[in-house]
Amino acid sequence: MFRRLSRFALIVLAALPLTAFRMPAGHETREQFLYDVRGAFVTARGNVPQGLVIAIDMLVDEAIRATSRSTMLPRTIIAIRIEKASQVPQLIGSRHAAKVAVQVISVSSGEAIAEGNFETSVFLLEGGDGNTALAEKVADRIAAEFRLKGDGRPAIASALFP
């Protein structure tokens, strides 16, 4: 009897933290974690191709200019740093990869309020411009994370028509 009662008490204690959990209602928006991005700048070391840096800067800036927010959000600037970019020839085609660090800076205080890193890569069958395809992938990732409205293509379209 005591054993059964202790198991019941353990289950109740384990379930207590779940009672504080609340799913947001369907009409609530999750924009409380978004920012009103006012601008972005892209930096990189000298060994990163300049065309990649310029293309990422143009694509992210285009997505920022296409975005408008209906609610007031904290104004920020995005600092994007290309830590490393590489091109690895494969048996057929080549793989282009980049390691990117993103920092969100508050316009009002000038302090960094969020940071993140990610790595991304693209595979090209032909010897086309890998920097352009990689820049589109990086810009699409940043636009998706910050909910910026750019002309990001669907994944199947970008896979078929790089």
Question: Is 99 a domain residue?
Answer: yes
**Residue 139 CB neighbours (<10 A):** 25
Q: Which domain holds residue 108?
A: 34-150
pLDDT digits (tens, 9 = 90+) for 63-112: 999 888 888 888 899 999 999 999 888 888 888 999 999 999 999 998 99
Q: How much is the pLDDT for 16?
A: 59
Q: Is 86 part of a structural domain of the chain? A: yes
Q: What is the pLDDT, as a whole number, of residue 161?
A: 46
Average pLDDT of the segment spanning 14-24: 57
Q: How far apart are CA 136 and CA 61, in angstroms?
A: 12
Asked whether residue 129 is domain-assigned, the answer is: yes
**pTM here?**
0.70
User: What CATH code is carried by the domain that includes residue 128?
Assistant: 3.30.160.150
Q: What's the total number of domains in the chain?
A: 1
Reported for 105-113, long-range contacts at CB under 8 A and 24+ positions apart, including other chains, are 105/76, 105/77, 105/78, 105/79, 106/74, 106/75, 106/76, 107/38, 107/75, 107/76, 107/77, 108/74, 108/75, 113/74, 113/76
- Across the range 145-149, mean pLDDT stands at 85
Tell me, yes or no, whether 27 lies in a domain.
no
- Backbone φ, ψ for residue 155 (5° rounding): -60, -40
DSSP 48: S
pLDDT computed for residue 80 by the predictor: 95
The mean predicted confidence, pLDDT, of the chain is 80
Q: Are 41 and 54 in contact (CB under 8 A)?
A: no
- pLDDT confidence band for 32 (50 / 70 / 90): very low
Residue 153 scores a pLDDT above 80: no
Q: Which two tokens stand for residue 77?
A: 């600037």
